[in-house]
Chain A
């Protein structure tokens, strides 16, 4: 089956990201496809490229990136929710006159339409909220 996940909790603030990553690993192990993970609400902070968790904690950012590298899962971040919260890729940073950027590939800033597409186009959408 084709799955999509919606993550709405900030990393390390709630269990949402951990639960989503565990669920992702389990569904992939059962032979399903994980087409995309969509980040909305405070979930957009999962895309913060400067996250530096202590070494003895799970590295959520690395785990998201591994889903993309190993399974081609798209990591889509709601652009409206992200910009408000200071999460800008290089292009948006330039457009807004910012000296640095906080989001990079494989995370993509994208519109909410992608969430609706994923929700209606995939066989299952599972939401993890704070």
Chain B
């Protein structure tokens, strides 16, 4: 399993498409920084192919006032959870 990390929102950059294209069937995607906008109910459709493999960083949601606006398909993790995701992955790939 590879952890893919995305820090751009689907509204500002199409890099999310390449991130999705680069993902294998077990890989996970973590949204951080401006990428957390992709976790909003209005945006999460872009990631619907991921099933339960979409994560978003809680503190980046919280600092933007977006915590609680996340789609039900998104697993919200704190920074400790971010580290755990990297522990569980064989490697990480960052998309920006």
Q: Which residues of A contact B (CB under 8 A)?
A: 1, 3, 15-16, 19, 22-23, 25-27, 29-30, 32, 124-130
Contacts and interface: CB of A to CB of B under 8 A. Distances in A.
Nearest to B89: A124
Given A19-B32, A22-B59, A127 B94 contact: yes
- Looking at chain A's contact residues, the main secondary structure is mixed
A30 B83 contact: yes
A1 to B, nearest CB: 7
B82 A26 contact: yes
B86 A126 contact: yes
Nearest to B33: A15
Interface residues of B, number: 19
A24 B32 CA distance: 15
5 tightest A-B CB contacts, nearest first: A127-B94, A129-B96, A26-B79, A15-B33, A27-B83
Given A15-B33, A25-B79, A26-B83, 18 more contacts: A1-B87, A15-B7, A15-B60, A16-B7, A16-B33, A23-B79, A23-B83, A29-B80, A32-B83, A124-B86, A124-B91, A125-B91, A125-B92, A126-B5, A127-B5, A127-B92, A129-B7, A129-B94
B79 A22 contact: yes
A29 B59 CA distance: 17
- Looking at chain B's contact residues, the main secondary structure is helix
Contacts of B5: 126-127
A96 to B, nearest CB: 32
B28 to A, nearest CB: 14
Interface in B74-96: 79-80, 82-84, 86-87, 89, 91-92, 94, 96
7 contacts: A15-B60, A19-B33, A27-B83, A124-B87, A124-B92, A129-B7, A129-B94
Contacts of B59: 22
Contacts of A29: 80
Nearest to B59: A22
